[in-house]
Amino acid sequence: MELDPDEVSSMYRTLAGAVVPRPIAWVSTTSPDGVDNLAPYSFFNVAAVDPPILMFAPVDDDGSPEGLKDTPRNVRRTEEYVVNVVTEPVAEAMNETAATLPPGESEFDRAGVTRAESRVVAPPRVAESPVAFECSLRELVDLGGSTMVLGEVEWADLDDEVTTDGKLDVEKLDAVGRLSGSLYAATDDRFSMERPP
């Protein structure tokens, strides 16, 4: 089978099904009106290390006045957000926050997750998440049907349970990855390969 992107209605299923597992950015923001928003995005990754830049790219919302979902709209207005890492114990709560809620209702409350005060940004982080990155907006990039959010990490909150000798220990962080549709992957089945010189 071969696909010409110009000949098919959407490449979403092919891209989302082949580029797996994808890390999940569980992004918390606060609206200018003070409503805390929490939503998962699996088009997410590290964009740079120096300076430390994370990116996520929500699909646009044609039904909103600005064409953006709540999260990128809040980021545009406040220039702050938190990326919380999703692990197996909070996977179901993360899924609950994917629901479409009316304005003024917070996904924190719907999912029953605890707000924790951030160190340098206004939006709260998820207390149950062992890793959270407090970010300031670097740039919003229009990608047609999506808007890529590039943010600089201003502070990293790491639970001591996922560190060894003062460093993040991937053997202790059971992050969850997104596959396609309703499928997810655990990251606790690992193998090692030495990089050649």
- Going by their DSSP bridges, the two strands 167-168 and 163-164 should be labelled as antiparallel
| 83 vs 156: CA distance, rounded Å | 10
3-state secondary structure of 82: strand
* Per-residue pLDDT tens over the stretch 18-44: 999 999 999 999 999 999 999 999 999
Domain assignment present for 194: no
Indicate the number of domains in the chain: 1
End-to-end CA distance of the chain: 37
Domain assignment present for 93: yes
Domain assignment present for 7: no
Structural domain harbouring 173: 12-186
| 64 vs 67: CA distance, rounded Å | 5
Stretch 54-74: mean pLDDT: 89
Specify the pLDDT at position 63.
Answer: 73
Domain assignment present for 17: yes
Contact (CB, 8 A) for 177 and 170 = no
Domain assignment present for 103: yes
Domain assignment present for 57: yes
- In CATH, what number is assigned to the domain containing residue 102? 2.30.110.10
* Per-residue pLDDT tens over the stretch 115-148: 999 999 999 999 999 999 999 999 999 999 999 9
Contact (CB, 8 A) for 41 and 29 = no
Specify the pLDDT at position 49.
Answer: 97
